[in-house]
Amino acid sequence: MTISTFPQGTCTLVGAGPGDPDLLTLKAVKAIAAASVIFADDLVSEEVLAHAQRHARIVHVGKRGGCKSTPQAFIEKLMITAVHEGERVVRLKGGDPFIFGRGGEEVEHLRAAGIEVSVINGITSGLAGLTSLGAPLTHREHAHGVVFVTGHAKPGDSGTDWRQLARTAKQAKLTLVIYMGVSSAMQIQNDLLTGLAARTPVAIIQNASLPTQRQALTTLGQLAATLEAEQLQSPSVIVIGDVVQGAMAWQASDAQTEHTGLTRAA
């Protein structure tokens, strides 16, 4: 009896960026175009998937907070099976695979199955969101570093010690970029206020870089109230720190430009 075998395929984890297809890296575009199978997260837009070959198989394995999601173990099983069948697999993730994308877990499981994995970084929404408002994440006067942190703890995990983080952020002059923090915003606000001033600037950006992007500029003391008043929902990033003053200055400048009838140079 003859047993047919397939040549070993390949697997690449690709960061699709925050949503705007123009923010894809050239390396990401090439990987997507070369794939025979793409396992795409829910936040990956159709404009990004348009770079795939016409005959490529696209499998949507949606993962979004508060919604029904494809189990992580099942996604990993699908990827391993496809590689063993000789497919050129791309695991396409919103943002960057290694920033709250569970890319580390997938790499571990794939390597345990004897599969080598390549990773292509993407622009993370925490960076793209504040950049779209004309402000940086670091600044020589206002922020000596940046912390990317999740507001959504793993089940059974106590999660981030926000009180300790607030003290550290104040002492070290750090910008806080919080992913998946909308549902727990009130607790995050109350705990951060133990170490940071209520007047600390805050930017909330929903759907960063997309035509549907919405944002609000507020203060830490008004974080939860602003989310409710503006009806900002997931996926949103929350940026806390003095660097947000740059976004506030940009907004004020835009308001003045509109008032005087001037146009801003591109």
| Number of neighbours of residue 39 by Cβ within 10 angstroms | 25
CB 181 within 8 A of CB 152: yes
**Which of the following is catalytic: 20, 79, 96, 180?**
180
Cis amide bond preceding 155, omega within 30: no
**Which of the following is catalytic: 20, 41, 96, 191?**
41
Q: Which residue has the tokens 């989310």?
A: 227
* 68 belongs to the catalytic site: no
* 41 belongs to the catalytic site: yes
Structure letter (DSSP) for residue 223: H
Question: What is the CB-side half-sphere exposure of residue 167 using CA atoms within 13 A?
Answer: 5
C-alpha pair distances (Å), 1 with each of 4, 215, 240: 10, 64, 65
Q: Which residue has the tokens 């390949």?
A: 10
* 173 belongs to the catalytic site: no
C-alpha pair distances (Å), 214 with each of 20, 114, 126, 240: 14, 43, 14, 17
Name residue 43's amino acid: L
Q: 174 has which bridge partners? A: 145
- For residue 204, count CB atoms less than 10 angstroms from its CB and return exposed for 0-12, middle for 13-18, buried for 19 or more: buried
**Residue 170: what are its φ and ψ, rounded to 5°?**
-70, -45
CB 41 within 8 A of CB 72: no
**Which of the following is catalytic: 20, 63, 79, 93?**
63
Catalytic residues: 41, 63, 180
